[in-house]
């Protein structure tokens, strides 16, 4: 009986070492590839260097656009494209720029402790309306100005829209 237990223990140890070694080889191959890739990137950087960016124009433009989008009462003009006519259809004056339906007010994920298993999990988190917004959606929300009251009214569009801070020329708009 002792011999049988010893054979089983030795067999388990040999199996465990084999599994560990195969995992070590896979990790070793992955590690080798990471090291080689890093060497290649270092050589590429040594040969080409970094771009001589001195004006940071794109960053300045991004800042300017963000600040302009943040203006209170920004008036815009919203259009949809009519593919059959090859022209835009004026949907109305709007306030600010549209929001994609997939935009979320709060962080879409939260970290939750899983103390029974000794770790943490990333879980979906509801928006303030208690709904779970989709990560991607084709719809767009626009605050169109109601022409009779002058007040903004939310409108939802499934088709792609164009929103500008100026009116399109009449030749591009379907009458």
- Interval 99-154: pLDDT, tens: 998 888 888 888 876 666 667 778 888 888 888 888 788 899 999 999 999 999 99
Domain boundaries, the chain: 1-50, 72-172
Radius of gyration of the CA atoms of the chain, in A = 30
Q: Which is nearest to 154 in space by CA: 102, 90, 98, 77?
A: 98
pTM: 0.64
Q: Is 156 helix (H, G, I), strand (E, B) or coil?
A: strand
Q: 7 falls in which pLDDT band (50, 70, 90)?
A: very low
Q: Which is nearest to 95 in space by CA: 65, 73, 68, 66?
A: 73
């Amino acid at each position: 009986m002792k011999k049988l237990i010893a054979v089983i223990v030795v067999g388990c140890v040999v199996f465990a070492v084999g599994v560990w070694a195969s995992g070590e080889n896979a990790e070793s191959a992955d590690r080798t590839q990471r090291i080689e890739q890093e060497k290649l990137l270092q050589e590429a950087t040594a040969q080409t260097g970094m771009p001589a960016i001195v004006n940071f124009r794109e960053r300045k433009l991004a800042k300017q656009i963000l600040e302009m989008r943040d203006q209170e009462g920004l008036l815009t003009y919203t259009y949809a494209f009519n593919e059959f006519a090859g022209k835009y259809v004026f949907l109305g004056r709007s306030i600010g720029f549209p929001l994609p339906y997939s935009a979320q007010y709060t962080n879409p994920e939260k970290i939750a402790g899983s103390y029974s298993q000794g770790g943490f999990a990333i879980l979906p988190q509801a928006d303030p309306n208690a709904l779970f917004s989709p990560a991607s959606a084709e719809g767009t929300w626009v605050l169109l100005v109601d022409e009779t009251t002058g007040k903004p009214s939310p409108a939802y569009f499934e088709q792609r829209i164009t929103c500008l801070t100026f009116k399109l020329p009449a030749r591009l708009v379907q009458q």
